[in-house]
Amino acid sequence: MRPPILNPLFAQATALKGVGPALAKPLERLGLERVVDVAFHLPTGHVDRWARDELMQADVGRTIAITVRPVDYKLSGGRGPSRVHATDKLGNYVSLTYFGGASGYVKKLLPLGEPKRVSGRLEQYGQELQILHPEIEGDERFREREAIYPLSEGITSRRLQSLAAQALGRAPELPEWIEPGLKDARGWPDWRAALERVHLDPADTKARERLGYDEVFANQLAMTLVRADTRKRKGRALAGDGRLRDMLRLPYEPTGAQARTMREIEGDLQQTAPMLRLLQGDVGSGKTLVALMALLVAVEAGAQGAMLAPTEILARQHFETLQRMLAGLPVTVAALTGRDKGRAREATLMGLRSGEIDILVGTHAIFQEAVGYRDLGLVVVDEQHRFGVAERLLLSNKGVRPPHLLAMTATPIPRTLTLAQYGEMDVSRLDEMPPGRVAVETRVVSEDRFDEVVNALGRHLSDGGQAYWVCPLVEESERSDLAAAEARAELLKARFGERVGLVHGRMKPVEKDAVMTAFAGGRLGVLVATTVIEVGVDVPNATLIVIEAADRFGLAQLHQLRGRVGRGGGLSRCLLLRGGSLSETSRARLALMRETNDGFRIAEEDLRLRGPGEMLGKRQSGEATFRLAAPEMLADLLQCAHDDTRLLVDRDGGLEGARGQAARIALYLFDRDAGVQLLRSG
């Protein structure tokens, strides 16, 4: 049970004053559903506001706050600008300008002759001064320094700062979980003081460090508890005799990395302590073969295996791949996803309970209470970053004894972040490619050559090829991304007709599956997609991918998108369309993408190149592991938290000691309470 002291923070965000259904939507898009989420939504920068009594040419380029009197309207009835001419106390003119057909809104906000205090960036427009979309001071006074927050359509930084202040008002003083000597040596403030300081001054490095450390510490402690619980549980040793593996007809000799990883997994399976291993491997490195070998060890030992995929289409893809690889072997494979109903579903459930089914492939449906196994010995989780500690623990209850767990990810993870995200797991890396695998040829093309790219796509289709076209991330609004994708699909349809399909995050799963199945079956030549959906279909004939506005994305995501091609035997190409002006970081990213296909090198460089404020959010990187700990802090904070966690467990009595009681609160505060549940159940 969550400590009562945290209850005010874990209320719904609608408990905050002024948060009704309309404001709840943009908050939800930002992932701010609870009061604690608002408190932890930290600003990325600040703006200094200069209080002025009169307009001055010297202030052009600055954000000012000044009292003016509206004297004249020049309103637009269409989409053009609406201007309010106003004067300061000395009669100097400024144009308050709004775009977007805001005439009615402007008259209400700025009635003629009534003094109003406004704020915004002062600019020179021809011979006059102007402020675009100025804010109007209401009950809440303008601050000299105002934080800038990550935003979503329908909410402003000022509103977020106001909500953050309310959230802080609900934040209690909490007992200290950091070892006192460490806190003093680092010069860190108390937890609540650190949170207040960051919202007031985003440049306060000590306060940011403290909050980042707290989150990393809670994560490390939770993983320490999970690992300890796993080690003490009595599982089942699975020792295969090799008879099924010897029957496999492999297309190539396993690489050295595959052979090494298979030995590591086989050794783990022979232990009674349940395996907890993460398998990292780039697209095409042969993770599926390693997973199949592990599943066959379980079947040889008389147990069952299950393979979990994050989406229905990936689950079906894995099912078909395993069926193909196991053709002729006395092994029964079945699939179970949310779409399976009626008699087919019942037959699968009966086969699992009787032991007739050896290997089950499915989605979250395999977690359901109605799904029982005769003897589940091994679970393989694909695309591990989609599943958290809670799901990993849930699987432990599905077997007669806790099953072994092999988690796989095609997202190369820097070694620093591997420790942060999967510290309770042993890690294997497939850092070699099977023979015959051809690297994807990557080119960077200016958006000025858009027509040439479309012509090249036409030639590619004429030659019988297929292609992905990934639309750019427009802004923090799924609606805007969708509009961009729809517009691009319409343009390409005008050229290539019904051979163009569109998939996006707002489609129903059945509709999305239908389009992607048509593409996989060759009935579509081009698949236009937004970046927020999983385009993980294995289509060997798709040998071209075009990524628009590639300079807006991080290296890790570009590499994942590029991995959609290069799955057949021939040459594949990736065209990165870039904007006209590039930052040094964007230039370095695109150059590295041209230079290498090595996902692990790209992951390390991605972490190095990201500066403060450039950390990828949920939309670009899947569920973010950390909200408060910036990437550039992690190497330092992780080692520090690791040592502090050991002190807590080995010297300070674990969660039962005085500091441990405070650490329990930290686990709940940062949603790492699975560790406490383990301790209670163990």
Residue 377, in any domain of the structure:
yes
Q: How far is CA 380 from CA 56, 225, 233, 295, 467, in A?
A: 67, 22, 19, 8, 31
421 — pLDDT class (breaks 50, 70, 90)? low
Within 10 angstroms of residue 519's Cβ, the number of other Cβ atoms is: 24
Amino acid letter for position 584: E
Q: What is the pLDDT of residue 614?
A: 32
End-to-end CA distance of the chain: 16
- Name the β-bridge partners of 31: none
CA-CA distance, 635 to 30, in Å (whole number)?
A: 27
Beta strands in 133-264 (DSSP E): 135-136, 145-148
- Name the β-bridge partners of 135: 119
Q: How far is CA 443 from CA 412, 473, 541, 592, 595, in A?
A: 22, 20, 20, 11, 10
Q: Which is higher by pLDDT, 642 or 352?
A: 352
pLDDT, average across residues 173-185:
95
- Are residues 516 and 458 in contact, defined by beta-carbon separation less than 8 angstroms? no
Counting Cβ atoms within 10 Å, is residue 485 exposed (0-12), middle (13-18) or buried (19+)?
A: buried
Query: What are the pLDDT digits (tens) for 479-499?
Result: 455 567 888 999 999 999 999
Q: How far is CA 268 from CA 273, 302, 337, 359, 372, in A?
A: 8, 17, 29, 19, 24
Q: What is the pLDDT of residue 580?
A: 76
CA-CA distance, 337 to 50, in Å (whole number)?
A: 59
Q: What is the pLDDT of residue 611?
A: 38
Query: What are the pLDDT digits (tens) for 78-100?
Result: 667 888 999 999 999 999 988 76
Q: Minimum mean pLDDT among 32-46, 157-171, 177-191, 275-289: which range?
A: 275-289
Residue 148, in any domain of the structure:
no
Q: What is the pLDDT of residue 342?
A: 85
pLDDT higher than threshold 80 for residue 393: no
Residues of the chain above pLDDT 90, percent: 47
Domain end call among 430, 465, 494: 430
**Is the domain of 475 the same as that of 446?**
yes
- Are residues 532 and 512 in contact, defined by beta-carbon separation less than 8 angstroms? no
Q: Which is higher by pLDDT, 132 or 604?
A: 132
Residue 608, in any domain of the structure:
no
Q: What is the pLDDT of residue 47?
A: 83
Residue 106, in any domain of the structure:
yes
The total number of structural domains in the chain stands at 5
Supply the mean pLDDT for the chain: 85
H or E stretch including 430?
Answer: strand 426-430
CA-CA distance, 271 to 238, in Å (whole number)?
A: 7
Q: What is the DSSP string of 1-60?
A: ---GGGTTTTSBGGGSTT--HHHHHHHHHTT--BHHHHHT---SEEEEEEEESS--GGGT
Residue 675, in any domain of the structure:
yes
**Is the domain of 124 the same as that of 108?**
yes
- Are residues 428 and 263 in contact, defined by beta-carbon separation less than 8 angstroms? no
pLDDT higher than threshold 90 for residue 432: no
pLDDT, average across residues 530-536:
59
Residue 284, in any domain of the structure:
yes
**Is the domain of 277 the same as that of 392?**
yes
Q: What is the pLDDT of residue 246?
A: 94
Q: How far is CA 16 from CA 36, 161, 365, 628, in A?
A: 11, 12, 36, 22
Query: What are the pLDDT digits (tens) for 433-449?
Result: 887 677 899 999 998 89
Beta strands in 42-157 (DSSP E): 45-52, 63-74, 82-87, 93-98, 116-125, 128-132, 135-136, 145-148
Residues of the chain above pLDDT 70, percent: 87
Range of the domain at 471: 441-596
- Name the β-bridge partners of 501: 527
Q: How far is CA 62 from CA 1, 51, 94, 115, 116, in A?
A: 51, 11, 14, 22, 19
Q: What is the pLDDT of residue 682?
A: 45
CA-CA distance, 290 to 281, in Å (whole number)?
A: 11
Amino acid letter for position 193: A
**Is the domain of 38 the same as that of 52?**
no
The DSSP symbol for 499 reads: G
Beta strands in 456-588 (DSSP E): 466-470, 500-503, 526-529, 542-547, 573-578
pLDDT, average across residues 602-618:
52
Buried b (16+ CB within 10 A) or exposed e, 486-506: eebbeebbeebeeebbbbbbe
Residue 36, in any domain of the structure:
yes
Counting Cβ atoms within 10 Å, is residue 82 exposed (0-12), middle (13-18) or buried (19+)?
A: buried
Amino acid letter for position 569: G
CA-CA distance, 239 to 20, in Å (whole number)?
A: 58
pLDDT, average across residues 396-425:
71
Which are the contacts of 211, defined by CB distance < 8 A and separation ≥ 6? 40, 42, 191, 194, 195, 198, 628, 629
**Is the domain of 447 the same as that of 556?**
yes
By C-alpha distance, which of 399, 394, 397 is closest to 301? Answer: 399
Domain end call among 398, 430, 462: 430
Please provide the size of the chain in residues: 682
**Is the domain of 565 the same as that of 660?**
no
**Is the domain of 486 the same as that of 574?**
yes
Task: Please report where in the chains the tokens 């201007």 appear, as a residue.
Answer: 83
pLDDT, average across residues 165-186:
96
Q: What is the pLDDT of residue 27?
A: 93
Query: What are the pLDDT digits (tens) for 195-251?
Result: 999 998 888 999 999 999 999 999 888 878 877 776 777 888 999 999 999 999 887
CATH number at residue 501: 3.40.50.300
- Are residues 118 and 141 in contact, defined by beta-carbon separation less than 8 angstroms? no
**Is the domain of 28 the same as that of 63?**
no
Q: What is the pLDDT of residue 586?
A: 84
- Are residues 60 and 52 in contact, defined by beta-carbon separation less than 8 angstroms? no
Q: Minimum mean pLDDT among 96-105, 356-365, 566-575: which range?
A: 96-105
Query: What are the pLDDT digits (tens) for 1-18?
Result: 889 999 999 999 999 999
pTM of the model: 0.64
**Is the domain of 400 the same as that of 424?**
yes
Q: Which is higher by pLDDT, 191 or 612?
A: 191
> How far is residue 622 CA from its own chain's centroid?
2
CATH number at residue 86: 2.40.50.140
CA-CA distance, 306 to 366, in Å (whole number)?
A: 8
Query: What are the pLDDT digits (tens) for 515-526?
Result: 988 998 999 999
**Is the domain of 317 the same as that of 384?**
yes
Q: What is the pLDDT of residue 621?
A: 31
475 — pLDDT class (breaks 50, 70, 90)? very low
Which are the contacts of 656, defined by CB distance < 8 A and separation ≥ 6? none
**Is the domain of 218 the same as that of 71?**
no
The DSSP symbol for 413 reads: -
pLDDT, average across residues 442-461:
94
**Is the domain of 451 the same as that of 558?**
yes
Counting Cβ atoms within 10 Å, is residue 268 exposed (0-12), middle (13-18) or buried (19+)?
A: buried
Q: What is the pLDDT of residue 396?
A: 60
Q: What is the pLDDT of residue 546?
A: 96
CATH number at residue 164: 1.10.150
Q: What is the pLDDT of residue 416?
A: 58
By C-alpha distance, which of 363, 366, 415 is closest to 386? Answer: 363
Structure tokens at 315: 């689950």
Domain end call among 596, 626, 655: 596
Query: What are the pLDDT digits (tens) for 538-576?
Result: 788 999 999 998 888 878 778 888 888 887 767 899 999
Residue 615, in any domain of the structure:
no
Q: Minimum mean pLDDT among 33-42, 72-81, 87-96, 372-381: which range?
A: 72-81
φ, ψ (nearest 5 deg) of residue 620: -100, -20
> How far is residue 645 CA from its own chain's centroid?
27
pLDDT higher than threshold 90 for residue 60: yes
